[in-house]
Amino acid sequence: MAKDVGFEFAQSMMDNATYRANLKERLQSGILPAMLEKQLWNYLYGKPADKIEVEFSTDALEDKSPEQLKAYLEELIVLAASLEAEPKLLEE
């Protein structure tokens, strides 16, 4: 019952053109609470994963020669330098 009332209220607000215009204005002016803005992004693109598990194994490195390992390390250094130069890449 309460869920239905809440849904009906939310639906009536979102169906109201004046409310939507005010909501848009608050969003564009930066005064919409961050939590609500975040929720809009979640609705649009889906909620990001809370946890990402990464498995790393050194097995592939054990079969490499010292020269191959050095070349790989140099590639990682170049990659790290490019990430430092472009911090927004780390955010993606």
pLDDT digits (tens, 9 = 90+) for 47-83: 888 887 877 777 777 888 899 989 989 998 998 888 8
Domain count along the chain: 2
Mean pLDDT, rounded, for 22-48 = 85
Cβ atoms 61, 69 nearer than 8 A:
yes
80 found inside a domain: yes
**Domain ranges, residue 7:** 2-45
12 found inside a domain: yes
Please indicate whether residue 17 or residue 82 has the higher confidence score (pLDDT). Answer: 17
pLDDT score of 18 more than 90? yes
DSSP 22-84: HHHHHHHHT-S-HHHHHHHHHHHH-PPPS-------SHHHHTS-HHHHHHHHHHHHHHHHHHH
Mean pLDDT, rounded, for 26-37 = 86
50 found inside a domain: no
- How much is the pLDDT for 56? 72
Single pTM value for the model: 0.42
Distances (CA, A) of 41 to 9, 20, 36: 22, 16, 9
